[in-house]
Amino acid sequence: MDDIPVPIPAQPVRFMDRLRAFMRGRQLAYRTEKTYCGWIRDYIRFHKMRRPEEMGKPEVDEWLGYLATQRNVAVNTQKTALNAIVFLYRQFLGIELGKLDFDRTSKGQRLPVVLTHEEAIAVIGKLSGHHRLLVSLMYGSGLRVMEAVRLRVQDVDFGHHCIFVREAKGEKWRRTLLPKALVEPLRSQIEVALALHRRDLEEGFGEVYLPHALAKKYPGAATAPGWQYIFPAPDRSLDPRSQVMRRHHLGEQQVRRAVAKALAEEGIRKKASCHTFRHSFATRLLASGVDVRNIQELLGHNDINTTMIYTHVIGIHERGVVSPLD
């Protein structure tokens, strides 16, 4: 249950607790909160536990340069660390750092690994049950693994053949494709999930986790069918933060392990993972002539440049370029 926010005191005193409370007041995604807090801790430890208020531009430049030259982090990793520190100083502490002058990482951005359609279907064919349907959603709808396991009953609109991704990266809602081939499997999975929910209710449980204090705003929502996870965990467990016994969604790591096993069984040597199916979704659409702006919307990218990287992934032979040797 690593996607449920850790509790913080009502009147936080410790620095990190105050920082977390500030982030939640601005509705940052919990994963962003964890990432930023991790980099801010790293920054503080690098400077021998000095208070951030006592430091500034020189210390930030030194730390960011260390990440590039000593830890050899990737471009996007250094950018994430920079975003965390800028948030800390500008938003939380109200301190302007001015123009930063640090060593930029030389580790370039890599092109995403993608599977051919035949490879993707072959790997999916090696899976069964929940895992097969989840990976099919990643490839057929462009979902991240965490978006797939967090889907709730109300997120699937069979009438309009679409899926609403509400608990997405950066808390950005979007609408994406519902493949026709997955309509009946999803209907069946929802029936199974709701049957399990009814059994939980009969046994005195059945309350699901709701984000952003929605349980207080809508007291009955936690037990309503629409809010239940489509892919519930096989067993109930005690939420260590709220001390409530509830059924969470299927764990992401279970899906990742199943995909890794299927890739190995299929003999695919590419450095592939769950996220590869999302990359493959984008490249297949691009190769079939779908406009890059539409793909950006389906993927939920803020910046079109993030989506444009897929134009470099498509083989040049798919653009009509032929080698002189051929």
As a whole number of angstroms, the distance between CA 293 and CA 19 comes to 36
212 belongs to the catalytic site = no
β-pair partners for 152: 229
DSSP codes, 31-80: HHHHHHHHHHHHHHHHTTT--GGG--HHHHHHHHHHHHHTS---HHHHHH
278 belongs to the catalytic site = yes
129 in Cβ contact with 122 (< 8 Å)? no
160 belongs to the catalytic site = no
SS3 content of the chain, % helix, strand, coil (to 5): 55, 5, 40
β-pair partners for 164: 175
As a whole number of angstroms, the distance between CA 81 and CA 89 comes to 13
As a whole number of angstroms, the distance between CA 2 and CA 20 comes to 16
- Helices 274-287 and 292-299 meet at what angle, rounded to 10? 160
161 belongs to the catalytic site = no
Tokens 């279970």 belong to residue = 254
Name the amino acid, one letter, at 92.
Answer: F
216 belongs to the catalytic site = no
Residue 129: how many other CB atoms lie within 10 Å = 10
Cα–chain center distance at 41: 22
As a whole number of angstroms, the distance between CA 267 and CA 256 comes to 17
As a whole number of angstroms, the distance between CA 137 and CA 162 comes to 12
310 belongs to the catalytic site = yes
In 127-182, alpha helices (H): 129-141, 145-149
Q: Output DSSP code: residue 108.
A: P
CB-based burial, 238-251: b 16+ in 10 Å, e otherwise: eeeeeeeebbbbbe
Q: Which residue in the list 20, 130, 144, 152 is annotated as catalytic?
A: 144
Q: Which residue in the list 43, 89, 139, 310 is annotated as catalytic?
A: 310
Q: Which residue in the list 169, 175, 256, 261 is annotated as catalytic?
A: 169
Active-site amino acid positions: 144, 169, 275, 278, 301, 310
